[in-house]
Amino acid sequence: MLLVFALAIALWSLGALIKIPNRNRWMMIGTLYFLVLAVHFILPKGHQLRMLLGETEDFWLIVGGFALLIFSYLLILRQLRSRANAKEVHANPAAQESFTDTELNRYARHIVLREIGGHGQKALKNARVLVIGAGGLGAPVLQYLSAAGVGTIGVIDDDVVDGTNLHRQVIHQDKDIGIPKVFSAKAAMEAQNPFVAVQSYNRRLTANIADDLIKEYDLVLDGTDNFETRYIINAITVARGVPLISGALSQWEGQLSIFDPARGAPCYRCIFPKAPEPEVAPNCAATGVVGPLPGIIGAMMAVEAIKVITGSGATLRGELLIHDALYGENRKIVLKRRANCETCAHVTINSA
């Protein structure tokens, strides 16, 4: 009996080594099983080969019975899942029209959500989202937006992957050290989901190019770590009426909000009218940051992006969410527009 199990393991391992599909490997093991049964039924009792393979066929018949039960259960489960997916596709014809079968399977857990459904997933596919920064916050944002099926994702950053990034910027790997972050991120995103288009811009976002870039997108996520760039982003998104999801990190604490004056929320400058002195708001290189924190805040930013695009739930427009990882606490602060804000005072609320 041990010989048969050893042969089965060897067949499976050899098949994996030469990249034979799982189905074919199971067929090989099934063939081995029937050969063992044939030996027991054809050769007389007491034959040396029968003794080597377990003496009687009873054990192998029991093994076959259990295998048949498991196979039947998995087959029924697969049929039930297929029927459920078929019902969902029928209930969401928009999804069926715009997605391949592979995409429908990939996004099935989104499509079955009442708040997203086929129309929401189609909205994600048609969305154009710009992520500014491919570092601590940008890494999880890019991973989750590409996994969620956002159709076009732009990423701009002028930095290269450094060894000190890797404890928190998990979209990059050790082999990517020295490579521009936008190219490393693009490769990881396309490997994870080949159905998204990634536009990479290996340069710093400056006032000269900000308007031409942002006008190509309908949602912006800011993961930068300096106030100069944040004010540039804020000014252009306000002028264009584009929602801005902004996050920030420091040591054990992170925060995020949606700045969107066109829909009643304040802009970034309403809340931070002047940049603080460098010693008041130092960057991560000076103060440090716990590794998983960017993942927490970045994932929250990605969730807010999905809600904005699909129209799901209540977003963080007009609210600042603060997460304290050291003490495991969340709190919210209500934000109001400043009537004399130099950036958004002229903006009227879009009732649509």
Question: What is the tens place of the pLDDT at every residue in 11-70?
Answer: 778 877 887 877 777 788 888 878 877 877 877 777 777 777 776 777 778 888 888 888
Same domain, residue pair 207 and 134: yes
Q: Which of 216-225, 277-286, 302-311 has the lowest mean pLDDT?
A: 277-286
Same domain, residue pair 36 and 135:
no
3-state secondary structure of 29: helix
Cα torsion 339, 341, 346, 352 to 10°: value is -80
Whole-angstrom distance, CA of residue 253 vs CA of residue 322: 7
Q: What is the pLDDT of residue 279?
A: 64
Give the pLDDT confidence score for residue 91 in this predicted structure.
53
Joined together, the tokens standing for residue 34 give 């029937």
CATH number of the domain bearing residue 179:
3.40.50.720
Same domain, 185 and 328: yes
Residue 260 lies in a domain: yes
Beta bridge partners of 213: none
Point out the domain boundary residue: 40, 71, 93.
93
Classify residue 197: in a domain, yes or no.
Answer: yes
What DSSP line would sit under 254-322, residue for residue?
A: EEEEEE-GGGT---HHHH-SSPPPTTTS--HHHH-B-TTHHHHHHHHHHHHHHHHHHT-S---BTEEEE
Do 276 and 330 belong together in one domain?
yes
pLDDT surpasses 80 at 125: yes
pLDDT of amino acid 351: 56
DSSP state, 113?
A: S
Q: How far apart are the first and last CA of the chain?
A: 72
pLDDT at position 77 over 90 = no
Query: Radius of gyration (Cα) for the chain, nearest Å?
Result: 28
Please report whether residue 167 resides in a domain.
yes
Q: How many domains does the chain have?
A: 2
Same domain, 175 and 72: no
More confident residue, 241 or 38: 241
* Average pLDDT over every residue of 240-266: 96
Residue 122 lies in a domain: no
168 and 315 in a common domain: yes
Residue 16 lies in a domain: yes
Same domain, 225 and 290: yes
Mean pLDDT, residues 158-176: 96
Q: Which residues contact 34 (CB under 8 A, 6 or more apart)?
A: none
Q: What does the pLDDT read at residue 197?
A: 96
- Do 154 and 239 fall into the same domain? yes
Are 323 and 194 within one domain? yes
Q: In angstroms, rounded to a whole number, what is the distance separating the alpha carbons of residues 116 and 119?
A: 7
- Residue predicted with more confidence, 104 or 350: 104
pLDDT at site 11: 75
The average pLDDT across 259-268 equals 95
109 within some domain? no
Please indicate, yes or no, if residue 218 is contained in any of the structural domains: yes
By the 10 Å C-beta count (0-12 exposed, 13-18 middle, 19+ buried), 82 is classed as exposed
220 pLDDT band, cuts 50/70/90, is very high
Write the pLDDT tens digit of every residue in 93-106. Answer: 544 457 888 999 99
Query: What value does the mean pLDDT of the chain take?
Result: 88
Do residues 238 and 305 both lie within one domain?
yes
Same domain, yes or no: 142 and 74: no
Structural domain includes residue 154: yes
* Mean pLDDT on 261-272: 95
More confident residue, 286 or 91: 286
- What is the reported pLDDT for 96? 47
Question: pLDDT at residue 78 above 80?
Answer: no
Is the pLDDT at 3 greater than 90, yes or no? no
Asked which of 60-64, 194-198, 209-213 is least confident by mean pLDDT, the reply is 60-64
Its domain, for residue 34, covers: 2-93
Q: Let me know whether 83 and 134 are in one domain.
A: no
